[in-house]
Chains A and B, each alone.
Chain A
Amino acid sequence: MPIGNLDVPIIGKNVTIAVLVQSHILFAAFIIGAVLIAATSEYLGMVTKQPRYERFARNLARFVVLLFASGAALAITFVLALVTLFPVFFSYLQNIFFWVFLVEAFMFLGQIIIVYAWYNVWDKLAYRKSLHVVFGFIAGFMGLMAMTMIDAVASYMLTPAEAPVGDVARTFLNQTNVPLNMHRFVGNFSYAGFLIAGWGAWRYLRSTRDDDREYYDWMGHFGVIWGFGFLILQPVIGYGYLKGIRESAPDAFNTIMLGDQAWLFNLLALWLTIMSIAATAYFVHKLRFASKPMPMVRKLTVGALGFTALFTVLNVIPANASFIPQIGLAVAGGEDTKIPLGAMYPWKYIGLIGMMLVGFFVVALYLKAAAGGFEWGRASRWSQFALMTCAVTVVITMVTMGYTRESARRVDNDPGYLIYNCITLDQQVVTKNCLAEGLEGGAPE
């Protein structure tokens, strides 16, 4: 029986898969990050005896348990759609990554079991808190392992290993698996942290009781430390990831960094700018309420805010006046008109390194102040809007990054690839420039 070539009306099958995967990732990344943040918070509550850590951990764990079904349902729907719409491609993928998919399935299963157990035995293990905290960390670890497995597949699709397809170790450890995994590991914390901060801010603005205002003020602060603290690690890890892409798939690198899709990276830099400035402005505001007044630390942070704005804006400037070639958005001569300070080298490198160094400086100052405590419940409305801005922006950042990576395999769309240079978008195997050996005709001896 021949395999049908099915399509989806209006949006097409490529966008259908993108919609399901991106929606799934928005939940999955949050769940992994939130479980680890909640487990850490529970541990901090155990050590410091401050009840807000315990309250936060338990509420977040409950939310994760309830949210798990949404993330899992989207994952299953995605696999079903992939089997239906890309049966030939999925068959190759399943053959190359049989062991990886098997391990991922069991990690996913383990994560479900442990997350549910972790939440359900909260009271039962109240007097064996260390053991209970370990439950949370194991659940987070299993989520990370499941992510690592799927990262092997996702990275292989862009940078297939120059090795026989039956070589499990080399296909797993393809050129960009490790940097992609590091990028997503850090990203989970940052993403979940900003969402928690945004949620805390929203609840703070709606709270009328003093104890609730204090708690949600603290939650915004706790979330943004995770969010911004891990965000500033991303430029160096992202650089490592892009370096891997440049070395293994140079045409894809040129497309997303210098070519027709460079606007996506400018857009990404814009989101980074918004989050960095909003988070630093929040820190500046919060330092007014340090229990022990720290005027010098606050002045330094105000200066750092200026440098953050300077460095991040440097990343946003496009290289030339052809802004979005796909829709013909160009001014003053388009590609031929170079914009000052828009070149990748040296300006964007200066911008990214500067942003990171200033970010470390700001976080160090803020943590120093946080060690002495803050007066909670006195934060202004605009500081909470800054946190909510971070939460909205981090979601858009995730979607922009996903689109950038997955569309990098298209290059000039002649043809676009599902596995770069090996399997085209219409599921044809091509061997001319394919680095993977034995894709056609089974694995070699």
Chain B
Amino acid sequence: MIDLALLIELPAPLKVVAGFLIIMTIYSSFLGFTYWISKDE
């Protein structure tokens, strides 16, 4: 199964775009979560 999954690979420029989008998703969601737990009200 994992061998089949490894056949799916994005072209290099799209990998960079995908990487950037994942970074921004992780970053904004962790920051948002931290803000939410830090709110007083």
Contact = CB atoms under 8 A, between A and B. Distances in A.
Interface in B1-41: 2, 5-6, 8-10, 12-13, 15-16, 18-20, 22-23, 26-27, 30-31, 33-35, 37-38
A70 B13 contact: no
25 contacts: A9-B9, A10-B8, A10-B9, A10-B10, A11-B15, A11-B19, A12-B10, A14-B15, A15-B18, A19-B23, A19-B26, A22-B23, A23-B23, A23-B26, A23-B27, A26-B23, A26-B27, A63-B38, A66-B34, A70-B30, A70-B31, A70-B33, A326-B12, A326-B13, A395-B27
Contact of B18 (A11, A70, A74): A11
Contacts of B18: 10-11, 15
B39 to A, nearest CB: 11
Nearest to A23: B26
B31 to A, nearest CB: 8
Contact of A399 (B2, B5, B23, B37): B23
Interface of A: 7, 9-12, 14-15, 18-19, 22-23, 26-27, 62-63, 66-67, 70, 74, 326-327, 395, 399, 403
A7 B3 CA distance: 10
Nearest to A16: B19
A344 to B, nearest CB: 24
Contacts of B2: 9
Contacts of A14: 15
A403 B15 contact: no
Chain A CB within 10 Å, residue with most, of B19, B23, B31, B38:
B23
Contacts of A18: 19
Interface residues of B, dominant DSSP: helix
Given A7-B6, A19-B26, A70 B16 contact: no
User: Sorted from nearest, which 3 A-B pairs have the closest CB atoms?
Assistant: A9-B5, A70-B30, A15-B19
Nearest to B37: A66
Contacts of A326: 12-13
A12 B9 contact: yes
B40 to A, nearest CB: 10
Given A9-B6, A10-B8, A18-B19, A66 B38 contact: yes
Nearest to A71: B30
A62 B37 CA distance: 11
Contacts of B23: 19, 22-23, 26, 399
B16 A15 contact: yes
Contacts of A403: 16
Contacts of B22: 11, 19
A58 to B, nearest CB: 12
B34 A63 contact: yes
Contact of B10 (A11, A67, A327): A11
B1 to A, nearest CB: 10
A80 to B, nearest CB: 15
Nearest to A65: B38
Chain A CB within 10 Å, residue with most, of B2, B6, B19:
B19
